[in-house]
Amino acid sequence: MRRVAVTGMGLVTPLGRGVKTNWERLIGGQSGIRTIERFDVSDLPCKIAGQIQFGDGSDGTLNLDDVVDSKERKKMDDFIIYALAAADEAIADSGWKPADDEDAEMTGVLIGSGIGGLPGIDDGSITIATKGPRRLSPFFIPSTLINLASGHVSIRYGFKGPNHAVVTACSTGAHAIGDAARMIALGDADVMVAGGTEGAVCRMGIAGFAAARALSTAYNETPTEASRPYDQGRDGFVMGEGAGIVVLEDLEHAKKRGAKIYAEVVGYGLSGDAYHITAPSEDGNGGFRSMRMALKRAGLNPEEIDYINAHGTSTPKGDEIEAGAVMRLFGAASNTVSMSSTKSSIGHLLGAAGAVEAIYSILSINHDIVPPTLNLRNPSESVQGLDLVPLEAKEKKVRAALSNSFGFGGTNASLVVKEFN
Amino acid sequence: MSDIAERVKNIVVDHLGVEASKVTENASFIDDLGADSLDTVELVMAFEEEFGVEISDDAAEKILTVKDAIDYIQSQQG
């Protein structure tokens, strides 16, 4: 099978637009979690989220006019706009531009989303209920369909290779990168634009996850303290929005054109819990097996992994189950590996999480710095043997990193990225 | 220019994002103003909203130019 390189990266997250801004703020210990002001939260138990900051493009804000003309924006829900913004950055960063039809047909797009156009579905439902079906926009369906993120990117750039989308809840972003890497490994494409996007911070989204009792509700007055993975005071996750997109490329193809190579995608593992629709299996067996498969595919032993970007959503159960699975799989190496949850900074980006966190993992390799787990002041007893990088980033040689994503439905994905040399 | 014509043109400029100078009475939404089939559906909805009229699908299919829209709305409000 062919080897797969990462040659471009793009991010739009609650920490800001752009990979550079994200990394500076992430390792600087900043939080992107704020009070929700975009819609009425007075009757919602959770009033905070990791939200994209809009503006004129300065100071890491996202200038929507830079991404899509205002007339076109009504044809796409937030998750598509975020995907386009991150894809623009990743593709420009990679320097890849198909020279002819053959190139274009070997360049594909695989961007997933956990939920898709929930704000549009929320609005559309109100329109039907109050004004009747004739007032529903003809753009309602294409603006909310999950695969339209991939569709818009392919249309904008003329990429005619595989055009696909993943929908596996909070594992989406990791599955998208893993599946796209396989398409390259198997020769279906030479280049794949892959990742995850989510824009579900709306009344329906917050109300829905709150109804499932998944969200933090105790920190509405102190939003930056709400996402606190592994901490004894954690009480649920904080929703986030944004997108992470990478350009994956056949290693030889990348070398031939002299592309800059950030890392290699060497491992990918997938598994199912076969247990419960929202809760992880108590013994962490699903996550254990996806990590084990990813390491096996990578041909790496646990002691060769220096950093784990955990799923670590800040829910009471999930964090300790994942940590337990890591300690069982890593054995003695769990004393030396560093594991942090960057959801402590940006919240849980659902379908975008796995892709954003894969990029953070690659950046940890590139910079030899591991990002912190914010707000981790009193770790739960069961995780105390692990280096969870509390409160502050730290310098550390990172040769390879593992990134976990686990989703509702008991779907698990793990990626291993490795330094290229 | 009649009030109806002015309002129709404003809607076309607003929804299709085109220069006002291009929105002549004989301009075709699809051939001259860059609209696709979904844009024309949305335009008709905007006309319905603005003028408080109901435009059937059969009638909407015949509204291809700015003038078609003005004429149809005038006939309904006449």
With 0-12 / 13-18 / 19 or more C-beta atoms within 10 angstroms meaning exposed / middle / buried, residue A186 is: exposed
Chain B within 8 Å of A135 (Cβ-Cβ)? yes
Residue A220 CA to residue A217 CA, distance in Å, equals: 6
The answer to whether the CB atoms of A135 and B16 lie below 8 A apart is no
Can you read off the two tokens belonging to residue A275? Answer: 């247990």
Q: What is the pLDDT of residue A20?
A: 98
Q: Which of A185, A313, A143, A176 is closest to A243 using CA atoms?
A: A176
| 8 A C-beta contact, residue A194 and residue A245 | yes
Q: By a Cβ cutoff of 8 Å, what residues of chain B touch chain A?
A: 15-17, 38, 41-42, 45, 48-49, 54
**A138 CA to chain B: closest CA distance, Å?**
6
Report strand pairing: A163-164 vs A107-112.
parallel
With 0-12 / 13-18 / 19 or more C-beta atoms within 10 angstroms meaning exposed / middle / buried, residue A399 is: middle
Q: What is the largest CA-CA distance in chain A?
A: 64
Q: For B46, which residue in chain A has the nearest alpha carbon?
A: A135
Q: What is the pLDDT of residues A96-125, one digit of tens each?
A: 999 999 999 999 999 999 999 999 999 999
Q: What is the pLDDT of residue B78?
A: 62
Please list, in sequence order, all residues whose beta carbon lies within 8 angstroms of the beta carbon of residue A330, skipping any fewer than 6 positions away.
A302, A305, A337
Q: Which residues of B touch A72 (CB under 8 A)?
A: 17
Residue B4 has pLDDT above 80, yes or no: yes
The whole model's pTM is what?
A: 0.96
Residue B76 CA to residue B53 CA, distance in Å, equals: 7
The single residue listed with the structure tokens 């102190």 is A222
Residues in a beta bridge with A164: A110
Chain B within 8 Å of A130 (Cβ-Cβ)? no
Q: Which residues of A touch B15 (CB under 8 A)?
A: 71
Report strand pairing: A338-340 vs A307-309.
parallel
Residue A233 CA to residue A258 CA, distance in Å, equals: 49
Catalytic amino acids of A? Answer: 170, 311, 348
Low-confidence ranges of chain A (pLDDT < 70): none
| Residue A13 φ then ψ, to 5° | -140, 175
Residue B73 has pLDDT above 60, yes or no: yes
Helix, strand, coil percentages (3-state) for chain A, rounded to 5, are 40, 20, 40
- By Cβ distance, the residue of B42, B49, B54 closest to A138 is B42
Residue A399 CA to residue A418 CA, distance in Å, equals: 6
Q: Distances from the Cα of A196 to the Cαs of A14, A94, A220, in angstroms? A: 15, 18, 27
Q: For A71, which residue in chain B has the nearest alpha carbon?
A: B17
- By Cβ distance, the residue of A72, A134, A137 closest to B42 is A137
Residue B77 has pLDDT above 90, yes or no: no
In the chain, the amino acid numbered A322 is: E
Residue B2 has pLDDT above 80, yes or no: no
Q: Which residues of A touch B54 (CB under 8 A)?
A: 134
Q: What is the pLDDT of residues B5-61, one digit of tens each?
A: 999 999 999 999 999 999 999 999 999 999 999 999 999 999 999 999 999 999 999
Chain B within 8 Å of A73 (Cβ-Cβ)? no
Q: What is the pLDDT of residue A421?
A: 85
Residues in a beta bridge with A403: A309, A415
Measured from the Cβ of residue A28, the count of other Cβ atoms closer than 10 Å reads 13
Q: Which listed residue (B3, B31, B32, B36) is catalytic?
A: B36
Containing A413, the helix (H) or strand (E) segment is strand A411-418
The answer to whether the CB atoms of A135 and B41 lie below 8 A apart is no
**A165 CA to chain B: closest CA distance, Å?**
23
The gap between the terminal CA atoms of chain A, to the nearest Å, is: 19
Chain B within 8 Å of A139 (Cβ-Cβ)? yes
Q: Which residues of B touch A139 (CB under 8 A)?
A: 38, 42
